[in-house]
Amino acid sequence: MVTNDTKTGESGIILTTADYAINWARSNSLWPLTFGLACCAIEMMATGAAKYDIDRFGAGVFRPSPRQADLMIVAGTVTFKMAELIKRLYAQMPEPKYVLAMGSCSISGGPFSKDSYSVLRGVDLIVPVDVFVPGCPPRPEALLEGLIKLQGIIKKRSIIDKK
Amino acid sequence: MEINRIVELLKDSFGDAIIELAETKPDPYLKVNKDRITDICSYLSQEPQLGFDTLMILSGMDLGDKLAVVYHLYSLQHKHRIVLKAELPKDNPAVHTVESIWQAANWFEREAAEMYGITFIDHPDPRKLLLTEDWIGCPMRKDYVYPESWHGMPLKRPADEK
């Protein structure tokens, strides 16, 4: 006899699609890369800490290696010297991989978009960006909103899509 | 010690190499001959009643027709300060290093060298500090020409070009 308090594997069947199950898993366990470039990183740390707690969305496991990360939060000013390394870090991340551009600097260069010799005018010039979060710096709520938007994008994808 | 007294002491030792004291606010600065900068600086640091033991900052300047190096000195012992300014011609901006007097000058001079193209003679480590080794041009000069791109990355967004 099967009862509710024994886990035998015989107690029930869940029917779903592969897309739904895979996207559910992917969107709720986004592991970000520990990657802060400037003051936006302070807000990103606040988002990870107790008050805002990015772990509620399954994205709190900041990985020290790009090979274990799904999401690169570009939090801060991208200089040309750093841009070379961002390209390499992005290449080292396994598929599927996502990029979130956080703050004015990584979107367009921000205050450095005019007359700077050293700042890249937007990280989307070197890596494909899924979500832009405006602000200087964005508040933790804004970063969480961007994360929820990214989860929505992931949930609409299909494993059959080549993209 | 009062700034005028310091300038008197310097004029007694170096004569013509001390050009003039400009009474600017908040800090007056003392124009000096660039060829005597090492002698003047070692005098300022060695002389017991002056005792300038701290180089607070060394910066480069672009004055348009010429360049300049500015030395902000401070004495922790006597609590007095002085600003030296040495002007350099733009065609061959070279000045002797003060790294042997204040080690803090090492990185300051490397930064001034890459940003303004100033040569610091006898510097022990004349590599670039912040820029990459293959960088072309001196970004802080007023006549700096921005490159189109750097390592294939554009300096302007394609939409900005109109």
pLDDT tens, N- to C-terminus, chain B (162 residues): 888 889 888 998 888 888 888 888 888 999 999 999 999 999 999 989 898 999 999 999 999 899 999 999 999 999 999 999 999 999 999 999 999 999 999 999 999 999 999 999 999 998 999 998 888 889 999 988 888 888 888 888 876 555
pLDDT at A163 over 60: no
Cross-chain CB nearest to B139 (options A83, A109, A117): A117
Asked whether A29 and A68 are in contact (CB, 8 A), the reply is: no
Question: How near does any CA of chain B get to the CA of A121, in Å?
Answer: 6
**Residue B100's pLDDT is what?**
92
**B144–A126 C-beta distance less than 8 A:** no
Question: How near does any CA of chain B get to the CA of A117, in Å?
Answer: 7
Q: For residue B32, give the nearest of B76, B96, B80 by alpha carbon.
A: B96
**Residue A71's pLDDT is what?**
94
**A125–B157 C-beta distance less than 8 A:** yes
Q: What is the mean pLDDT of residues A8-33?
A: 86
B91 vs A160: which has the higher pLDDT: B91
**A122–B139 C-beta distance less than 8 A:** no
User: What residues does B84 pair with on adjacent strands?
Assistant: B30, B71
**Residue A68's pLDDT is what?**
93
**B154–A122 C-beta distance less than 8 A:** no
**Residue B26's pLDDT is what?**
84
The model's pLDDT over A95-149, given as tens digits with 9 standing for 90+, comes to: 889 999 999 999 998 899 888 899 999 999 999 999 999 999 999 999 999 999 9
A7 vs B91: which has the higher pLDDT: B91
Asked whether B34 and B90 are in contact (CB, 8 A), the reply is: no
Q: What is the mean pLDDT of residues A38-65?
A: 92
**Residue B158's pLDDT is what?**
78
Asked whether A97 and A90 are in contact (CB, 8 A), the reply is: yes
pTM score, two decimals?
0.81
Cross-chain CB nearest to B153 (options A113, A117, A120): A120
CATH number for B3-161 (one of 3.30.460.80, 3.40.50.720, 3.30.160.270, 3.40.190.10): it is 3.30.460.80
Tokens read off for B158 = 């394609």
Q: From residue A107, how far is each of A33, A59, B118 by CA, in Å?
A: 18, 22, 35
- Would you kindly state where each structural domain of chain B is located, as residue ranges? 3-161
**Residue A115's pLDDT is what?**
85
Q: What residues of B are in contact with residue A113 (Cβ under 8 Å)?
A: 157, 160
The model's pLDDT over A85-94, given as tens digits with 9 standing for 90+, comes to: 999 999 999 9
**Residue A5's pLDDT is what?**
66
Give kind and range of the element (H or E) at residue B67. Answer: strand B66-74
Which ipTM was obtained for this model? 0.76
Q: Helix (H, G, I), strand (E, B), or coil: what is residue B96?
A: strand
Question: How near does any CA of chain A get to the CA of B161, in Å?
Answer: 12
pLDDT at A4 over 70: no
Q: From residue B158, how far is each of A14, A94, A121, B111, B153 by CA, in Å?
A: 50, 30, 10, 31, 11
